[in-house]
Amino acid sequence: MQTSSHCVQVPIFYNLTQMELFSNLKHKTWPNKWKWMLEVEMLQHSPKLQHLIIHKEIENGIENKDNWEDPKIIPECLSSQLKTCLFKNYRGKMCELQFAEYVMGSSKVLSNMTIHSSIDLNAKYHMLQKLSPCLRGCKLVFE
């Protein structure tokens, strides 16, 4: 599988501490797991990142059943720097949950994970059950 770095050379952002990513891939027919590779690529190239905001474009239609695959290398920012993560437009899709689990499970200093979502209370409860084992002192907030 090729990632975005094979198509576009992503520079290393040595001094970047805050990043806001906007994803507008709703009309692409790529598997869902590939749609997350840009976010992972950006994390790998931002070693001092402390604050991350991800805006996922609202998608309509049937969820692609592709599962998330954890990258083989944990980005340096996750293992030693990332303090806050805000996930906007969360829809409760499996790959979104798996990405949130990856960030929370890989982050050693994450203090706050906030998820903005309009999913119903039962879905939020299910998500809380799935993410609870990843907390490690991290505050999980649903808005």
Residue 30 domain flag: no
Low-confidence ranges of the chain (pLDDT < 70): 1-8, 24-35, 58-68
pLDDT, tens digit, for every residue of 85-118? Answer: 999 988 888 888 888 999 999 999 999 999 998 8
Residue 93 domain flag: yes
Residue 17 domain flag: no
Under the phi-then-psi rule, with left for phi > 0, alpha for psi from -120 to 50, and beta for the rest, what region is 61? left
Predicted TM-score (pTM) of the model is 0.81
Residue 7 domain flag: no
Task: Provide the CATH number for the domain around residue 129.
Answer: 3.40.50.720
Number of domains in the chain: 1
Share of the chain residues as helix, strand and coil, in percent rounded to the nearest 5 = 35, 20, 45
Backbone angles phi, psi at 91, to 5 degrees: -115, 0
Q: Which residues form the domain of 141?
A: 78-143
Residue 68 domain flag: no
Residue 44 domain flag: no
Q: Which helix (H) or strand (E) holds 18?
A: strand 18-23
